[in-house]
């Protein structure tokens, strides 16, 4: 398991239908070490702190294993005009990770890195801004159906994060997996 990329971004205007909204979903890879504190990565912003950021959602991790699915969906659903590759940070993630999927991680598990410790707190919930960035009005629904949301992390021990860093997973209580927590949110949205 490792971090392939550490990504940060600034809030900027995003066109969603007829509206112009503030969003920080577009993240870019950082070359050197990035400091991480209780509220997230240095140089990173969240446009809507009611749903992103804060102590329990300080960092967002997304498995790169899902990117092939998204590239296929964009082509299949007519978003082929968006031919750009899905680069690190495209999904709005701070950490593009490899080797850890939602069914393998539980709320309360910890990611131990050389210089910091992060704790899994919740799955991501897709929103209309995600649909706009993906170029698919059904992207949020597809994320719910596929069960590939990635997950939020709190910062247990501040430090630094660097691309290509390996991490180990220290199991927590193991009461609820990220996949099961996301499935429960999906059922709630269907009602």
pLDDT given for residue 127 in this prediction:
79
CATH C-level class of 2-190: mainly beta
Give me the residue spans of the domains in the chain.
2-190
Residue-wise pLDDT tens digits, 33-48: 999 999 999 999 988 8
What is the chain's mean pLDDT, rounded? 90
User: Band of the pLDDT at 76, cuts 50, 70, 90?
Assistant: confident
Q: How many CB atoms lie within 10 A of CB 48?
A: 14
* pLDDT above 90 (res 86): no
Q: How confident is the model at residue 88 (pLDDT cuts 50, 70, 90)?
A: very high
* Dihedral (CA of 170, 157, 40, 57) sign: positive
Q: According to the model, what pLDDT value does residue 93 have?
A: 96
Quick one: average pLDDT of 48-60?
89
DSSP strands (E only) in 143-182: 151-157, 159-161, 168-170
Per cent of the chain over pLDDT 70 is: 93
């Amino acid at each position: 398991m490792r971090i392939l990329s550490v990504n940060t971004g600034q809030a900027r205007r995003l066109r969603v239908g007829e509206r112009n909204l503030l969003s920080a979903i577009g993240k870019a890879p950082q070359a050197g070490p990035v400091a991480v504190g209780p509220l997230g990565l240095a140089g990173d912003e969240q446009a809507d702190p009611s749903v992103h950021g804060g102590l329990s959602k300080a960092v967002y991790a997304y498995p790169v294993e899902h990117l092939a699915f998204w590239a296929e969906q964009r082509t299949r659903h007519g978003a082929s005009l968006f031919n750009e590759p899905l680069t690190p940070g495209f999904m709005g993630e701070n950490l593009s990770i490899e080797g850890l999927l939602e069914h393998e991680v539980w709320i309360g598990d910890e990611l131990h890195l050389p210089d910091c410790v992060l704790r899994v707190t919740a799955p991501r919930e897709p929103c209309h801004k995600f649909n706009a960035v993906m170029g698919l009005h059904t992207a949020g629904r597809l994320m719910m159906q596929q069960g590939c949301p990635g997950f939020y992390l709190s910062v247990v021990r501040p430090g630094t994060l660097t691309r290509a860093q390996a991490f180990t997973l220290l199991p927590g209580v193991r009461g609820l997996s990220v996949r099961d927590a996301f499935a429960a949110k999906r059922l709630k949205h269907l009602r």
